[in-house]
Amino acid sequence: MDSFDLKDLTRRMEGAAETLRKEFMGLRTGRASVNLLDPVMVDAYGQHMPLNQVGSISVGDARMLVVSVWDKGMVKPVEKALHDANLGVTAQTEGTTIRLRLPELNQERRTELVKLAHKYTEQCRIAVRNIRRDGMDSLKKMEKDSAISQDEHHRFADQVQELTDKFIKKIDESLDHKEKEIMQI
């Protein structure tokens, strides 16, 4: 390793932030979103696959999702997967169409969702800090191996810390935005 790769750390931190964004998309606010069903996995054809690979998902209205299962034989496994996902929705099946009615969010449920958002955010912060630690360890090893000077080590370490601070700030802003969205009545 001749030079320190800040781009790799940036890419990894962006990956952690993107994972948080996807987690947040699965948190239900007052409106129906097809992303609510992203984590649902169906046992289909001997494999564990995402729901969107066995049927199409659409928004019926502000509080309803519609799942159109492509294969009639997959309706029962899809119903089971939806039930096991514990999304707090009521499913109504008509042939190969499953309608999911989303209940109104009460204050207690909103508070639970905010706690979950905080949990996802903390996991993301930990991931970013672990990436920073990997970068710092790499710098120490490079200095020890005489690949970089002590001055370069300090300069790169400052850049890594700035990058980390930037991502933590971005993550916190995402949490603030999601919290407002969840608590909005």
Q: Are 105 and 29 in contact (CB under 8 A)?
A: yes
What does the pLDDT look like over 7-19, one tens digit per residue? 999 999 999 999 9
Closest C-alpha to 29, from 98, 85, 94, 103: 103
Residue 67 DSSP SS3: strand
* Helix-then-strand count for the chain, H and E: 4, 6
The CATH label, of 2.102.10.10, 3.40.50.300, 3.40.50.740, 3.30.1360.40, for the domain at 31-101 is: 3.30.1360.40
- Name the pTM for this structure: 0.68
Residue matched to tokens 């370490």: 157
What does the pLDDT look like over 28-63, one tens digit per residue? 666 677 777 877 888 888 888 888 888 988 888 777
Q: Are 98 and 82 in contact (CB under 8 A)?
A: yes
Superfamily of domain 6-25+106-183: Ribosome-recycling factor (1.10.132.20)
